[in-house]
Amino acid sequence: MTDMETAATILLGGGLVAFPTETVYGLGADATDDRAVARIYAAKGRPQFNPLISHVTDVEDAFALAEFPAAALTLAARFWPGPLTLVLPRKAGCPVSLLASAGLPSIALRVPQHPLALELLRAVGRPVVAPSANPSGRISPTTSQHVREGLGDKVDFILDGGPSAVGVESTVVSLLDDMPRLLRAGGLAREKIEDALGQKLQAPVAGPLHAPGQLESHYAPRAVMRLNAKEWREGEARLGFGALDAPLNLSRTGDVVEAAANLFAMLHQLDNANSSTIAVAAIPEMGLGEAINDRLKRAAAPRA
């Protein structure tokens, strides 16, 4: 049996499989199996009010699960497969476990771009929920080794596809009302989405979480984080960017796309060095810099 066949068999049997996507590694379960979805929350130590993203092979499969307003059709046609998640009204009779939606009448959907992820979804023939394959609130995994270090034997199988190319999670856009809203900055820049829609994305409104990545403290290393560093202090682990150099530099040329791809892998390296503080150089708030700064701010937030 091939690794792909093994992974599909485990998912169809209610097990958990970590697999690569272009953003980060996901911890997958059959989205239609309540017990399998519950295992995701238990394995990650994830609060059950925090919804999960369901992954499907193409937009036609997504049509069976959710209502698509005109703006959603525009974004799906332009950016799927890719690092964009759409939060939409659930269709009546949607087979995805309500636990995956935290009991809400909405569903978060994505068509991933990674060829192994798409092959796995086709082999399973069902939607697969897949949050990042790490303990809840910790640094997201961009390699199979990160998954092993974070989850150990809580995952039944790891499908190795090499390092994730994008390196930060998908951008999440809500289309639950008349105003498209950015719930999470991510691997698709806000500017590209706004250009496709011909309008600005609005901020989320107060209320229940409709997608992952909205908790104040998230993506956190064990060390304390000092952000927007203009200089280095003695005793700190250092994560450089551009001219503020360090042994680990997100991008010496100041490229935010390169920086996004390196972010979580470099945070894992620094966290494993057991420093008490990680200082991070300032990142410009443009393009994928918005997603990088979002992750860094949540990583530095006070922890419960």
CATH classification of the domain holding 239 = 3.40.50.11030
Pairing of strands 26-30, 17-19: antiparallel
Q: How far apart are CA 62 and CA 107, in angstroms?
A: 10
Cβ distance 155 to 83 under 8 Å?
Answer: no
Q: Are residues 146 and 269 in the same domain?
A: no
Residue 267 inside a domain? The answer is yes
Q: What value does the CA radius of gyration of the chain take, rounded to a whole number of Å?
A: 18
The pLDDT value recorded for residue 19 is 98
Q: How far apart are CA 68 and CA 79, in angstroms?
A: 15
Q: Are residues 124 and 256 in the same domain?
A: no
Pairing of strands 26-30, 128-129: antiparallel
Residue 210 inside a domain? The answer is no
- With CA atoms as reference, report the closest residue to 225 among 299, 142, 172, 137: 299
* Secondary-structure percent of the chain, ordered helix, strand, coil, rounded to 5: 30, 20, 50
Residue 186 inside a domain? The answer is yes
Q: Are residues 23 and 106 in the same domain?
A: yes
DSSP type of residue 202:
B
Q: At what angle do helices 3-12 and 115-124 cross, to 10 degrees?
A: 50
The domain that holds 67 is classified in CATH as 3.90.870.10
- Overall residue count recorded for the chain in this entry: 304
Residue 28 inside a domain? The answer is yes
Tell me the per-residue pLDDT of 85-135, one tens digit each, with 9 for 90 and over.
999 999 999 999 999 988 889 999 999 999 999 999 999 999 999 999 999
Task: Note down the domain range covering 134.
Answer: 3-197
Q: Are residues 230 and 189 in the same domain?
A: no
**Of 160, 179, 197, which residue sits at a domain end?**
197
Q: Are residues 290 and 243 in the same domain?
A: yes
Residue 183 inside a domain? The answer is yes
pLDDT below 50 — which residues of the chain?
none
Residue 139 inside a domain? The answer is yes
Q: Are residues 191 and 229 in the same domain?
A: no
Residues 6+ apart with CB under 8 A from 291: 168, 169, 171, 185, 186, 187, 189, 260
Q: The whole model's pTM is what?
A: 0.87
Cβ distance 87 to 106 under 8 Å?
Answer: yes
Residue 206 inside a domain? The answer is no
Cβ distance 156 to 43 under 8 Å?
Answer: no
Q: Are residues 53 and 143 in the same domain?
A: yes
Residue whose tokens read 């974070």: 150
Q: How far apart are CA 62 and CA 53, in angstroms?
A: 12
When divided into structural domains, the chain yields a total of: 2
Q: Are residues 73 and 166 in the same domain?
A: yes
Pairing of strands 171-174, 84-89: parallel
**Of 152, 179, 197, which residue sits at a domain end?**
197
Phi/psi for 296 (5° steps) reads -65, -40
**Of 178, 197, 216, which residue sits at a domain end?**
197
Pairing of strands 84-89, 106-110: antiparallel
Pairing of strands 53-55, 106-110: parallel
Q: Are residues 139 and 246 in the same domain?
A: no
Strands in 17-19's sheet, in edge-to-edge order, are: 157-158, 17-19, 26-30, 128-129, 53-55, 106-110, 84-89, 171-174, 181-184
Residue 214 inside a domain? The answer is no
Q: How far apart are CA 178 and CA 43, in angstroms?
A: 36
Q: Are residues 280 and 171 in the same domain?
A: no
Residues 6+ apart with CB under 8 A from 138: 150, 219, 220, 221
The pLDDT value recorded for residue 158 is 98
Q: Are residues 192 and 244 in the same domain?
A: no
Residue whose tokens read 């806000």: 190
Q: Are residues 145 and 271 in the same domain?
A: no
